[in-house]
Amino acid sequence: GGRAMAAVRDVEIDPEGTFKYILVRVQRPGGGEQRDIVRGTGAAEFHNHIFEKLNPEMEKLGYECKCLGGGKIDHNSKDKKIRVFGLSMGYGKADHSVTVEILKKVYTDYEITWSDDKK
């Protein structure tokens, strides 16, 4: 069962720019394995657009998704910096400190910070 979960990447975000993101808990129905993942893209006008794309993909793999909140990510690949801030009107503010820990798993050589600033 761990193999399918391994196919779910911790982070999928745009390589550059400032964009909306959501923090999502992915789990097997009825408990069992679960993890939190980060998804963000400039293609999404609203936070729920990201979730509505992700949810069917996860359901196909046999997982339930719950959005834990959202915000924005400012990704500067040239300077290797990521800033996490803001909130989602629909989902509320994600725990940005959790988001940062997940981002650090993938962007190991980046400076990653967060704040509750709106912009």
Asked if residue 2 is part of any domain, the answer here is no
**Residue 81: inside a domain:** yes
* Residue 73 domain flag: yes
Task: Please give the Cα distance from 40 to 38 (Å, whole number).
Answer: 7
Q: What is the CATH number of the domain that holds 81?
A: 3.50.20.20
In a domain, 4, yes or no: no
- pTM for the model: 0.94
Active site residue 49: no
Q: For residue 2, what pLDDT is reported?
A: 55
Number of domain units in the chain: 1
Residues of the chain with pLDDT under 50: 1
5 occurs within a structural domain: no
| Residue 3, pLDDT score | 65
Q: From the candidates 47, 49, 75, 96, which is the catalytic residue?
A: 47
Q: Is 15 within 8 Å of 27 (Cβ atoms)?
A: no
Residue 102 lies in a domain: yes
The answer to the question of whether 20 is labelled as a binding residue is yes
Range of the domain at 90: 11-114
